[in-house]
Structure 1
Amino acid sequence: MATRVLSSSPKLLNNLRSFIKPLNSASAAAASPLNFDEKPELSTVEKQHPIATTLHQPTTTLDLDDHQKLFASVPTLKLLRSSVNLGLASNETFVDFGMWVMNSRLMETPLLRDIVLKTVKHTFFEHFCAGETTTEAGECVRKIQEAGLRGMLVYAVEHTSDNAGCDRNLEGFLQSVEFAKSLPPSSVSFVIAKITAICPISLLKRMSDLLRWQYKDSSLNLPWKLNTLPIFTDSSPLYHTLQRPQPLSAQEESDLELAHQRLLKLCQKCAQYNVPLTIDAEDTSIQPAIDYFTYSSAIMYNKDDNPIVYGTMQAYLKDARERLFNTARTAEKLGIPMGFKLVRGAYMSSETKLASSLGFDSPVHNTIQDTHACFNDCASFMIKKIAD
């Protein structure tokens, strides 16, 4: 279960269109960061007995089929609101209309803007976001833990275009790790990071082009490339790169080194606090570079039976099963513990549209049943590896 943690700064409501866009599978947008000026308040019990939170563990096994017990602690009104929010978020027509409103000139009218933003804040924002402050986020994480679950903290920034912005985002990620460590033990499973937030998006596209071409032509030398795990299989989409790319320029290589150092600094912080880091996935145009960053850092920081860096595998992609099996087996041979966050995917419309425009089949499974089957196969493979 992922909990998005967002800021209480004035930019929050000024940029609420950012929170609407992720509801459409064809788009992704940056969201406001955490407000780290506020520290989570301890409850009265915690103030009197600080050790109490370290001893609290769920005492029963969570049964996802027992809906009555699962949602017993959730008020009926909240369940109804959640059902309505999810229903609206799954309605493509409604989402498109909402995006049109948020980007229209209607938002220039103060009264209408205030009504729209307050409506969004008390519906979709409250449903999908852990809170506006670290205090609210901490309380949300505690409630999740009491229900027998653990949260994943998402510092919701991405798609940065310059090094200055990447440096600012890195500081936010580092503080996210510190915040996760301040919460009750075992209440947070991962901190989620976006490579697009610490490496310029244009560079990720250039790197992905070069990595794809090297897979096609192994004679291509990439002097900047570090040791990594397999990124492609024969079924991976390579149509994004139809001609041999130019090598990275001196400036691009310099930017790459800066991005690499940012990620290593984040990995070091996670290793220091023993907080696992999951690198989130993006669309296939830049995913090769993201996998490269993920695997090269995993080789450095995943030691013994305590992996720090995890990847993300999107089961709606036709090559997901083969890539997962191939990468995991290679990591095992090298003695590198490698873990993955398994998701279905979020870019169905844009992936299909791009492939079609270039005259290729979509990289996404043709039916939801195929996606479910791929997800289940990947999950079974991972569970078996854990059991072994």
Structure 2
Amino acid sequence: MARRLPTTTLRLFSRRLNTASSSSSIAAGSRPSKPEPAAPTIVDLDDHRKLFSSVSTWKLLRSTVNLGLVANEMFVDFGMWVMNSRLVETGLVRDVILKTVKHTMFEHFCAGETTEEAGKCVRKMHEAGLRGMLSYAVEQTSNNDGCDRNLEGFIRSVDLSKSLPPSSVSFVIAKITAICPINLLRRVSDLLRWQYKDPSFTLPWKLNTLPIFTDISPLYHTLRKPEPLTPQEEQDLELAHKRLQDLCRKCVDLNVPLTIDAEDTSLQPAIDYFTYSSAIMYNKDGNATVYGTIQAYLKDAKERLFTASKTADKLGVPMGFKMVRGAYMSSENRAVSRFGYDSPIHDSIDETHSCYDECASFMLERIANGNDAVVLATHNLQSGKLAASKARDLGIRKGNPKLEFAQLYGMSEALSFGLRNAGFQVSKYLPYGPVDMVMPYLLRRTEENRGLLSTSSIDRVLIR
């Protein structure tokens, strides 16, 4: 008979997580090395049999193998080298690599290649008491034709969500970089940054939006006054707005919330602009359809969240936010190295965790007062437990539709099932699409989350 792991064992693994000191651990969510008080035990992670009772033995075995592989730094480094090398340009070698990736990392971290496979994955999770956040995993596009194709993919995700069991899909995910050319997003971000520096600088194309910057927001990407948008760029911007509005209207019609993913700080101002202008249009009657994403590893995250929420209150716009720690550390570090400025990311792991927990607490209090909605996307055991206990203390009933916890598919299974068993709504972020299309997502997740993947000891032990 399998034995129940004692609380002391889990605390031992928590202390091991606390020792992570690499820069990537900020994004990964590992705790600092100093001892911290144990969080209240509303989320029980001790009983491994209860946690994984809905998971088949075969899937547990496969998870053990895959988590063991991605926890091996040499394996990850070799895989990254192969995928970024010219080997993938060779037909036969590329086929072998893609098949290998498909039957290892892809099957573990992705929901499938087609909408049918993604739907099957959602149904299985629904049977286990979890929900799905459908993400057609396109990353970036450089032209309008590609943007139009990607919009069709997002629309299919919304249609798919309505063909599945009620409430089995919590959100559809979209990336603005997939429906607006990447160079145009950079141009719009530059212009928005310059207007913040110089309020007299006019942007005739600008729609009503919420505050995008604070006084501590990084502005070093725009060091000189940018040229106005050309007539062609304005036309392309209008097309991008129309794509997002088409998607928003589809979500409103089918009552499917839409979450806009965050990107790095060079692009985020334009993404927030798209998100907030759409929220003003489509978040009505006390319900948030369009959710933005706040990355807590950024120094200005808390202030931006507070400022946007305060302005939304004045406008009578209900807001929804997805709280994450952040997933663009490598690109941010390269940018500050190039520009010679201080990093926009918190200087310590402590500050990142403190920012995340304070933002989560702020949003939970707003929910308790009847305002807004939040997705608390975290792989950190302590943050999950603290938020669950805070929700209980505020009287937020279990299953409240304005509170959702979330983890990436294939990661932090113990926390997902622990929160589910405590009665909360829990979603898994489900990227799907052809293996070669999803490869950029897998590479980025592997690179940015290597700190978390290498400290997934608690999941591996509980699964065993």
The TM-score bracket by the shorter chain reads 0.7 to 0.9
Match of residue 324 from structure 1: 305
Shift of 1:369: 2.7
Q: In 2, are the aligned partners of 1:352 and 1:361 still within 8 Å (CA)?
A: no
The residue that corresponds to 1:52 in the other structure is: none
Structure 1 residue aligned with 2:238, among 257, 273, 278? 257
Alignment of 1:213 with 2:191, yes or no, is no
Matching residue within 71, 78, 88 for 2:59: 78
Note the alpha carbon deviations across 1:141-162, whole angstroms, 9 max, x for none. 1222222221100011121111
- How far off its partner does 1:75 sit? 3.5
Q: 1:239 to 1:92 in 2, by over 3 A?
A: farther
The number of residue pairs the alignment matches comes to 330
Mapped to 2, the partners of 1:108 and 1:137 lie a distance apart of 28
Equivalent residue, structure 2, for 1:306: 287
Q: State the distance in 2 between where 1:133 and 1:355 align.
A: 38
Q: 1:311-335 CA deviation, whole Å, 9 max, x = no partner?
A: 0111111111111111111111211
1:244 aligned onto 2:229: no
**Which residue of structure 1 aligns with residue 148 of structure 2?**
167
* Distance apart, 1:139 and its partner CA: 2.0
1:242-271 alpha-carbon deviations (Å, 9 max, x no partner): 011111111100000000111111111000
Which residue of the other structure, out of 342, 366, 369, is the alignment partner of 1:385? 366
Change (3 A) 1:109 1:255: closer
Alignment gaps of 5+ in structure 2? 1-23, 26-41, 370-464
- Normalising to structure 2: TM-score of the pair? 0.67
**Structure with bigger RCO (C-alpha 8 Å, 6+ apart):** 2
Partner of 2:101: 120
CA displacement at 1:98 relative to structure 2: 1.1
SS in 2 for 1:130: coil
What residue number does 1:275 align with? 256
Following superposition, the deviation at residue 110 of structure 1 comes to: 6.0
The answer for the alignment partner of 1:104 in structure 2 is: 85
| Equivalent position to 2:160, from 142, 161, 179 | 179
CA distance in 1, matches of 2:43, 2:167: 16
- Counterpart residue identity of residue 253, structure 2: Q
Return the alpha-carbon distance in structure 2 between the equivalents of residues 277 and 143 of structure 1. Answer: 22
* Secondary structure, counterpart of 1:281 in structure 2: coil
Distance 1:252 1:120 in 2: 38
Q: Give 3-state SS (helix, strand or coil) of 1:360's partner.
A: coil
TM-score (norm 1): 0.80
Question: Does the Cα contact within 8 Å between 2:55 and 2:128 map onto a contact in 1?
Answer: no
SS in 1 for 2:298: coil
Secondary structure of the 1:225 match is coil
Shift of 1:115: 3.8
Q: Contact 2:336/2:343 (CA < 8 Å) preserved in 1?
A: yes
Q: 1:91 to 1:290 in 2, by over 3 A?
A: farther
Alpha-carbon distance change, 90 to 316 in structure 1, aligned in 2, over 3 angstroms: farther
Range moving further from structure 2, 82-91 or 298-307:
82-91
In the alignment, is the contact (CA less than 8 A) between 2:115 and 2:157 conserved in 1?
no
Pick aligned residue for 2:338 from 343, 354, 357: 357
Unmatched segments (≥5 aa) in structure 1 = 1-23, 26-60
Contact 1:315–1:374, Cα closer than 8 Å, also in 2: yes
Larger mean CA deviation between 369-378 and 76-85 belongs to 76-85
Q: Which amino acid aligns with 1:235?
A: I
8 A contact 1:62–1:148 mirrored in 2: no
